[in-house]
Amino acid sequence: MDFKLSEEHIMIRDAARDFAQTELLPGVIKRDNKQEFPQSLVKKMGDLGFLGVMVDPKYGGSGMDAISYVLIMEELSKIDASASVIVSVNNSLVCYGLEAYGNEEQKEKYLKKLATGQFVGAFCLSEPEAGSDATSQKTTAIDHGDHYIINGTKNWITNGGRADVYLVVAQTDRDKGSHGINVFILEKGMEGFHIGPKEDKLGIRGSDTHTLQFNDVKVPKANRIGTNGSGFRFAMKTLSGGRIGIAAQALGIASGAYELALKYAKERKAFGTEICNHQAIAFKLADMYTDIEAARMLVMKAAWDKDQGKNYDKSSAMAKLYASKVAMEHTVEAVQIHGGNGFVKDYHVERLMRDAKITQIYEGTSEIQKIVISRSLIKA
Ligand code: CAA
């Protein structure tokens, strides 16, 4: 068993770290306050190949492996989880979905632009009454020969306002349950496709999250992905990969908070010594570091499973479940170590604490991850 990263992996990690320090760190507090993330930064991430990390170079991607992807996600998330969620959704949910299940024409038309950052993608599954219970889609797509007519509402859509391409999950035959669901490629500007106001969120405030409304949107049949009725399995498989990205995001948030807490504890003095010399603080640092390393093992294992062509449904759910728990618990501890300074924005840890919470919710709550893990254990 080899725990060492390759030279190529180290180079990719360092490139992401450098980008995060030089491009993301300046302005991260302002972007969080103003709930914005400029297109110029999205373009820079595209130029660096971060928006199509695992996509085949023949479709404009970087052709890297899932280990590289999680290294990039961790580094970006240490500094700005709003940036990394754009990367995560574009890579894991949209590019992967199109590359694995789209036809050649769809890949030529959409994947090339998504992988290079000319387009940004969004993945539209959740609805007001179908978040965790994903089979209960109310959005309908009715077959009209050469096109479908789509009606419905999607909620909490990451990149909802920014995206150019939207993968929309809809019910085509309610009687068939999960086998009557399909996924369609929609483009911004299609008649009847409305983007609702931006959500005012607790965390990842730079990333734009919207409700989308479809009123008789006419979508060509050529925009349906995969065989008729394959949409639910498409969504579940795609989300399994997405969970690796979010697990890496949680790992990055946790390690970013740990690094800040360690630095602060080595500088801040109380009772005549640096606070890291007090066991109350030293033990917190030990717990944080140990849990983060354990989370890293799970994240790497899930990415490795994907790279080896193994099934990663269980390992990705385990990585996301654990890494998001570690992120939540230890960002709280990082704030505690910072004392009063932790409660003000300039020290960054309060933002990391707010950002951590979403990793226990999106791409399946922690409870959903436990369903996926336990079903897999029982079935085995
Ligand atoms: N890969 C392939 N197929 C899969 C699969 C997978 N990972 N998981 C399930 N399926 C298949 C099953 O084999 C089954 O097929 P058959 O009927 O042919 O046997 C079918 O899908 C239905 O499966 P289940 O009976 O297990 O479905 P369920 O209704 O019980 O749901 C669930 C299971 C795990 C709870 C699922 O609904 C789920 O994961 N829910 C959470 C959804 C989620 O993550 N939402 C987040 C929204 S996206 C988001 O957050 C994006 C963003 O913007 C950041």
Task: Give the tens place of pLDDT for each residue, 67-92.
Answer: 999 999 999 999 999 999 999 999 99
Angstrom distances, CA of residue 267 to CA of 31, 110, 260, 364: 28, 50, 11, 39
pLDDT value of position 131: 79
363 part of the active site: yes
217: nearest Cα among 237, 244, 187, 240: 187
- Distance from C-alpha of 118 to C-alpha of 207, rounded to nearest angstrom: 18
- Distance from C-alpha of 85 to C-alpha of 117, rounded to nearest angstrom: 14
Q: Which atom of ligand 1 is nearest to the CA of 232?
A: 21
Residue 166, ligand 1, Cβ within 6 A: no
pTM of the model: 0.97
Q: Are 90 and 120 in contact (CB under 8 A)?
A: yes
Which residue among 92, 178, 355 has the greatest number of ligand 1 atoms within 8 angstroms of its CB, and so is best to mutate?
178
Residue 134, ligand 1, Cβ within 6 A: yes
- Band (pLDDT 50/70/90 cuts) for residue 235 is very high
Select which of 267, 329, 363, 367 is catalytic.
Answer: 363
Residue 110, ligand 1, Cβ within 6 A: no
How far is the centre of ligand 1, averaged over its atoms, from the C-alpha of 236 (Å)? Answer: 4
Which residue among 236, 312, 316, 367 has the greatest number of ligand 1 atoms within 8 angstroms of its CB, and so is best to mutate?
236
84: nearest Cα among 115, 54, 45: 45
Q: What percent of the chain has pLDDT over 70?
A: 100
- Distance from C-alpha of 230 to C-alpha of 154, rounded to nearest angstrom: 20
Q: Which atom of ligand 1 is nearest to the CA of 93?
A: 51
Q: What is the pLDDT of residues 13-37, one digit of tens each?
A: 999 999 999 999 999 999 999 999 9
- Distance from C-alpha of 200 to C-alpha of 82, rounded to nearest angstrom: 13
27-36, 125-134, 244-253, 294-303: which range is least confident on average?
125-134
135: nearest Cα among 179, 186, 103, 77: 179
Q: Are 195 and 247 in contact (CB under 8 A)?
A: no
At residue 323, does pLDDT exceed 90?
yes
pLDDT value of position 303: 98
